[in-house]
Structure 1
Amino acid sequence: MRTVRTLIVDDERYAREELAYLLGKFSSIQLVGEAENGEAAVLKTLQLQPDVVFLDVEMPKMNGLEAAKSLVELKKVPLIIFATAYPQFAAEAFRINAVDYLVKPYDEEQLKQTIDRIEKVLFPAMPVDSSGMLGKLAVEADGEINYLLPQEILYMYRDEKVTKIITHTQEYEVRTTLKELESRLEPFSFFRIHKGYLVNLMYVSRLTPWFNGAYQLELEGLDTKLSVSRNYVKDLRQRLEL
């Protein structure tokens, strides 16, 4: 069974114990450590290399939001789940690309949804092509070649002479054109919503009317809203809706 290496960060021992108990009910969760403040969270993340960090917001020395900003600068960025008694920080949390935001006291059904979302990101279904080989997208960054499963990609867009590929944890730049990437990813659930944007339909959570027939699109776990050109709205809805 694939496991999710998990770090719990909270300045209150009881809160850490409660969350550890609730997470222990999920067979995929492997608790690898705990930390009591933001500074310790960054150090433990470097040492333990967790897949996921459950992060409180209000803590001494370095609070959770500050710690999260440090975590997303690491070479291996963990998924970040904020777990706090303060709902007012949610907007800022999602600007840091948090995967979810749990409010204390924890609701077990909401926690289950969070674990499902984590597993969906970390262990996406891996379709095989007709030759039986895994199809992965090769992305060069800092002299390394990263191989991305299409299901890891949230969206991509053209920015001057490069294409930027956005996942839950990383942003990559490639010289490949958006048109070529769209062609390569045709067997998967990608859709062009604008001449400069290609999104993964798996993660679409909301469409909101904007102006002149255009819409704004929201993706799971992201605060960013993407513009859908009115020329693409009808086809997008046909692809999305049962």
Structure 2
Amino acid sequence: MSSVKVLLGDDDAGQLGLLADLLARLRPHWSIVACARSADEVQHSLDQDRPTLAILDVRLGAVTALEIVRQQSRRVPTIFVTGDPIFAVDAFNSDAVDFVLKPVRAARLEQALAKAEASTAMPSVPAGRERTSALCLFRGQELVWAPLDEVVYFTADRKYTRVVMPGFEGLLRMGIGAVESSLDPQRFWRIHRGIIVNMRHMDSARRDDLGRLVVRLRDRAERLVVSRPNESRFTDGFF
């Protein structure tokens, strides 16, 4: 797991998902330890997960993130996010790393993350093969926190990525190329332009009647076709 552990907090599921997507794209080697939607959840993560960086919406119901951060005995570098610039002065008085106005753009968040790295000596490049270990994804209107190991496969869904897991499916609001950049290529294989498979869920691979190489999954009925350019990853007798 990455040495940089990030707590995300926003009471709006859509905004929380956007932050998670942007962070996964900009810092794929950092770990998101929690996606909190209330002041209580933020406080719980600060106490239990001990994040090294927090990215928090200022308004969290009746309590502001500014109040929560001020009350911490342990200083947690924090980037505050809000649609109301009136909070900017208070944020910087709370020793904020940065203050980002909504709508959050990738370029602006990148500036804030770079400030965090510079001010807190966070590693700005991956160490070894550190990758994300969990995902914040949408299941209908609900935001779900899902361990990466439980993902069976990813499949492209227009400009988004569908995440298939045992028992349900969710949606990442980012393209499959961006998703691939945050995954360990030794564990997740791109078998098709629009499909990435978790190797731990593979059962076998064999030719069908049309000569196509087809992956069978453990405990699932669907079959996934391997594109010709990706067949070289599979060697005779591998399974």
TM-score range (shorter-chain normalised) is 0.3 to 0.5
Normalised to the residue count of structure 1, the TM-score between the two structures is 0.47
Normalised to the residue count of structure 2, the TM-score between the two structures is 0.48
